[in-house]
Amino acid sequence: MSIITIHCRLVASEPVRRHLWHLMTESNTPLVNDLLTQVSQHPDFETWQRRGTVPEKVVRELCEPLKAIYPGQPARCYASAILMVTYTYESWLALQQNRRRRLDGKQKWLNVVKSDPALLELSSTTLEAIKERAQTVLKQLNIEPETQAASNPKKRQAAQQQTQSANKASPMTRLFEAYDATDETLNRCAIAYLIKNGFKIPETEEDPEKFAHRLRRKQKEVEQLEAQLQARLPKGRDLTGEEFMETLAIATQQISESVAQAREWQAKLLTRPASLPYPIIYGSSTDVRWGKTAKRITVNFSGIDKYLKATDPDLEAWFKTTKASPFQVYCDQRQLTFFQRFLDDWQAYQANKATYPAGLLTLSSAMLAWREGEGKGEPWHVNHLALYCSFDTRLMTAEGTLEVQQEKLAKATRNQTLETSDHELTEHQQKFHQRNTSTLSRLTNLPHRPSQQPYRGKPEILVGLSLGLAHPVTAAVINASTGDALTYCMPRTLLGDDYHLLNRQRQQQQQHALQRHKNQRRGVAYQPSEAELGQYVDRLLAKAIIQLAQTYQAGSIVIPNLTHLQELLASEITARAEQKSSVVEVQNKYAKEYRQNIHRWSYNRLIEAIRSKAQQLGITVESGFQPLQGKLQAQAQEMAIAAYHARAIATK
């Protein structure tokens, strides 16, 4: 399944934009801000933090008394505020949970790992005895030492993936579990030795300076994660600038009690204040009503027209006279097809409301928002309205619609089975049962959609992708059955005539990095960004990779697992620094300059663009671990071959 989001500009009359701006800035956004604060002050908030989720039911209960403080909003606006708060905290809690897991893992590593002399002193034995016991531990845990696996690089990752699949845990996880499960000193020392060396037995002696540097680096990582875990809770958007002025007054009249407090003040003062209100979320496809004039597709939203009529008598008269939607859709030619589909679906739904399955409407959800503009004047004149529409790409074809129908039928059938048990149903359960029965009957009617044959590639042909610094992505088309490389493609080949955009993005990154540094030193809140150009380049690369896969009829695309991206980039920087010079000072200076580029590429955004494009066409996307050594072409080739062998092993 691939959910994509498209957007367009909405054009409306001045009174409509003015009233909508006041609604979203004076009522809806303050409501969201208050809800965010109340959720963080709830007695069960610590429990929700451990679970990683905030119950939507609780947010809805907190919203009820606030309706009296912010009255007059359409019902969809209150529902939107509840969804916005729920989504915001779910995202924040997911980040916090991930940081907590990483922190626990690094702290556990620091508690277990010791230097070789410390292990010898603790075990009262020799290093050879520790190595022999380590070999025994590897055999007991069914872990293949890297010194043996490295002799066959094409099957090394496949063996690792097979072992992980069979044991449902990574080798490092099993080593930590074995360490906790044993009390024998020699066993613990042997396991700590394996953990320290990446579950392999090194042939060279340990360098004390490198080990101390490694420990210090891990301690720094722990400190950074602990600081990130103390991050501020979501506090909403300060459209009035009151928080900025309060912080400025405090910072100019008082001396900070600690470094942390000073940093908090600095963060508030340097953060660019929000100028746009929260968007209004429409979680149901039937909340968005489509229409058409002689030249334009129009759109209206549940509750907005009633709000406008109640707010402005002139608008009520205009609605009665024209009977038209207040918003017109302005989009480019590429997106017009999708908006035309939304219109066709809505017209078919209106013509057959009793039988048309609303769950198979192409539109999944929508969001009405403001986009920042340039100039001076009233904000509803400077900024403009935008509509963001999300939909499942499978619903664009008859074959995909049939697949979605089967999924929804299976879910509705399961719900029907649960509700029709022997015990007597409550009033709420009876209503749910009636809705579910209606859903089952409607889903039997498939809407008419154009047919498109699904993509069928050759399973032995794979496109392996590797990530790097100088080259964001490198593609290798591999015939895995023979191990031959059919072609290699660097960004210059993939982008073709658009390669100059990649160079422009690099120049912008350097210029903006320098400008951000100057702004921070001068206390300017504005921070330039090349996000739009970067996103466009990522989409061009994703499109080119998909076309490459189609040209060679590849059965799947193998993307890197970004878990070890930091180690991958660090190893690349070290290798480049060593090639640059043999002098350590020169290497460190070069590595420092090169390391500044690490955070300038959004690898996650690029991978998600590739994954989304592939899913739209039905191309399988596999994941593998990118090797830390070798050229990017060889790394991409090795990933593809390893994924092919892992697939073959899994099917046995």
Tens of pLDDT, residue by residue over 141-167, are 877 654 433 444 444 444 454 444 444
Length of the chain (residues): 652
The pLDDT value recorded for residue 166 is: 41
Neighbouring C-beta atoms of residue 164, cutoff 10 Å = 15
Measure the CA–CA gap between 361 and 347, rounded to whole angstroms: 11
Give the chain's domain count: 4
The pLDDT value recorded for residue 165 is: 42
- Mean of the per-residue pLDDT values of the chain: 84
Is the domain of 42 the same as that of 101? yes
Question: Mean pLDDT lowest for which of 261-265, 289-293, 330-334, 355-359?
Answer: 261-265
Tell me if 360 is assigned to some domain: no
How crowded is the C-beta side of 613, counted as CA atoms within 13 Å? Answer: 21
Is the domain of 246 the same as that of 315? no
Tell me if 263 is assigned to some domain: yes
The pLDDT value recorded for residue 419 is: 55
**Could you give the angle at the alpha carbon of 544 between the alpha carbons of 543 and 548, nearest 5°?**
120
Tell me if 376 is assigned to some domain: no
Tell me if 526 is assigned to some domain: yes
Main-chain dihedrals φ then ψ at residue 305, nearest 5 degrees: -65, -40
Structure-block tokens of residue 446: 């498939």
Tell me if 157 is assigned to some domain: yes
Higher pLDDT pick, 346 / 155: 346
The pLDDT value recorded for residue 158 is: 47
**Average pLDDT rounded to a whole number, residues 53-82:** 93
Q: Give 116's contacts (C-beta < 8 A, 6+ positions apart).
A: 127, 193, 205, 206
Query: Is there a contact between 525 and 547 (Cβ–Cβ < 8 Å)?
Result: no
**Could you give the angle at the alpha carbon of 533 between the alpha carbons of 527 and 535, nearest 5°?**
100
Position 15 pLDDT exceeds 80: yes
- pLDDT tens string 91-146: 999 888 888 888 899 899 999 999 999 999 988 888 899 989 988 988 888 776 54
Question: Using 50, 70 and 90 to split pLDDT, how confident is the model at 594?
Answer: low
- Torsion 423-426-432-436 (CA) sign: positive
Is the domain of 507 the same as that of 617? yes
**Average pLDDT rounded to a whole number, residues 474-490:** 92
Long-range Cβ pairs for the range 367-371 (8 Å, 24+): 367/279, 367/280, 367/281, 367/282, 368/10, 368/279, 368/280, 368/282, 368/301, 369/276, 369/279, 369/280, 370/21, 370/24, 370/276, 370/277, 370/279, 371/9, 371/276
Smallest CA-to-CA distance from 475 within 394, 412, 379, 543 is with: 543
Tell me if 1 is assigned to some domain: no
Tell me if 443 is assigned to some domain: no
Is the domain of 188 the same as that of 210? no
Is the domain of 472 the same as that of 564? yes
Higher pLDDT pick, 530 / 22: 22
Is the domain of 62 the same as that of 172? no
Most confident of 41-55, 140-154, 484-498: 484-498
Measure the CA–CA gap between 512 and 555, rounded to whole angstroms: 40
Is the domain of 187 the same as that of 258? no
Query: E-assigned strands of 448-541?
Result: 458-467, 473-479, 484-489
Which residues span the domain enclosing 264? 240-273
Measure the CA–CA gap between 9 and 24, rounded to whole angstroms: 17
The pLDDT value recorded for residue 384 is: 94
Is the domain of 80 the same as that of 127? no
Is the domain of 315 the same as that of 180? no
Is the domain of 594 the same as that of 560? yes
Position 597 pLDDT exceeds 60: no
Any bridge partners for residue 484, and if so which? Answer: 479
The pLDDT value recorded for residue 279 is: 95
Q: Give 631's contacts (C-beta < 8 A, 6+ positions apart).
A: none
The pLDDT value recorded for residue 162 is: 44
Is the domain of 593 the same as that of 607? yes
Tell me if 552 is assigned to some domain: yes
The pLDDT value recorded for residue 325 is: 82
Higher pLDDT pick, 415 / 373: 373
Position 401 pLDDT exceeds 80: yes
Is the domain of 72 the same as that of 197? no
CA distance to 23, 104, 476, per residue, from 493 (Å): 50, 43, 12
